[in-house]
Amino acid sequence: MEIVIAKHAGFCEGVDRAFQIALETARSGRQVFMLGNLVHNKQVVDKLKSQGIRSVSSLTEIPSNSNGVLLISAHGVPPEVYYQAKNLKLEIIDTTCPWVKKAQKLAKQLADEGCVVVIVGDKGHAEVRGLIGWSGEKAVVAETLDDIKHLRLTADLCVGMIAQTTQAEDHFQKMAAALKQKVSAVKIHNTICGATYKRQSTAVEVAGQVDLMLVIGDQMSANTKRLTELCAATGTETHQIQTVKELNKNWLKGQQKVGVTAGASTPEWVIEEVIEELKRSGGL
């Protein structure tokens, strides 16, 4: 059995940056709080917790005058989180991905110009919630073409469009085309990150060459979910697994070529464990 690994898989620069900053901060000896999940991967979050970093779902969980450090996740947060943290006298260490920062700035800029901000993204996702906050709550979230169809927009409105950074390129372009049909002058900003595009394109390339495709990543991870959808769309049997424990060896029976890719928040050690198990199972 041949194993084909996508050229771009696993930690992107933004996630690796956030992870390294978090580890370095943990070594400071101070109380370190992580708002939500630094990245959407349980193994990474568990690793950080093992280093003494405490995860909180709200700043209200942090004791007053803790003199602690707050880690802002790679997905970013709305502006009010910064104000709340300063009021609690927390030192803020911001690991927001630079691509997400760019999208946040565009959301604010469009809102300041009086535009309705249309965000192509997953409703309820942490990054999207942050983008809504930066738009001054003037944003609407569109997941599907139906969502675009039902937007109540008049042709004379100022409308801007941005993307959650992990959206599929083809989907964003279809959404943009649909919005242009509703509004005569729409400002389109493609804020999909470069790492996302590389992972998607190389994953699809590998999926087209193999009999079975494995996508490694957490169920929480939007970019991993997108990889799974895109690989499955090629017609190749595709399975998403979080760790090697979820690898079903029955999938491997009779397969000549198995492809492997991983989401941008999947650590190298998790990928290696899967690859090693595939090598051991090569005789099936």
Going by the DSSP 8-state scheme, the letter that residue 87 receives in this structure is: H
The C-alpha atoms of residue 95 and residue 20 are separated, in whole angstroms, by 10
How crowded is residue 248: how many other Cβ atoms within 10 Å of its Cβ?
Answer: 9
Cβ atoms of 123 and 80 closer than 8 Å: no
Q: What's the length of the chain?
A: 284
127 given a catalytic annotation = yes
Structure tokens at 79: 């502006």
Cβ atoms of 265 and 11 closer than 8 Å: yes
The C-alpha atoms of residue 203 and residue 150 are separated, in whole angstroms, by 33
**Which one is catalytic: 127, 246, 268, 272?**
127
The 3-state DSSP class for residue 70 equals strand
The residues, ordered by sequence, that sit 6+ positions from 144 with a Cβ below 8 Å of its Cβ are none
Q: Which residues are catalytic?
A: 127
